[in-house]
Amino acid sequence: DAKTTQPNSMESNEEEPVHLPCNHSTISGTDYIHWYRQLPSQGPEYVIHGLTSNVNNRMASLAIAEDRKSSTLILHRATLRDAAVYYCILNTGTASKLTFGTGTRLQVTL
């Protein structure tokens, strides 16, 4: 499976935008880029996914580099409830499993 690299942790102030980076230099042409998050004591939660074009939904935006070797999850206004571990995952080929890496632990402060 193609690997992703994320910073171990990031901090943000409440109501400010947060940009969570992910590197995936070995991504293949058919890999989708998925983002999930896991809040404390909860199951992982789907955030967003994309293939080549930038994507927006009610939770976040996903910006994908033109060469697809990196992507950025954008939370437009962080709240305390966004404090979680954010996972960037490549869903390889036709495999349906999610391979979780170490993710980025986001801390949001007042």
Partner 1 sequence: AAGVIQSPRHLIKEKRETATLKCYPIPRHDTVYWYQQGPGQDPQFLISFYEKMQSDKGSIPDRFSAQQFSDYHSELNMSSLELGDSALYFCASSLGGGGPGGEQYFGPGTRLTVT
Smallest gap from Cβ 94 to partner 1, in A, equals 6
Q: Write out the two tokens for 71.
A: 């992507």
Distance CA 64, CA 52 (A): 6
Tell me whether residue 14 or residue 68 sits nearer to partner 1 (CB atom). Answer: 68
Binding site for partner 1 (CB under 8 A): 30-32, 34, 38, 42-46, 49, 51, 85, 87, 91-103
Least distance in Å: CB of 16 to partner 1? 27
Please, which residue, 18 or 85, has the CB nearer to partner 1? 85
Least separation in angstroms between residue 110's CB and partner 1 is 27
- 77: exposed, middle or buried (C-beta count within 10 Å: 0-12, 13-18, 19+)? exposed
Least Å distance between CB 68 and partner 1? 13
Identity of the residue numbered 22: C
Pick 66 or 96: Cβ nearer partner 1: 96
For the beta sheet containing 18-23, the strands, ordered from the edge strand earlier in sequence to the opposite edge, are: 18-23, 70-75, 61-64, 55-56
Number of other residues whose CB lies within 10 A of the CB of residue 51 = 12
Q: Based on CB atoms, which residue is closest to partner 1, 25 or 30?
A: 30
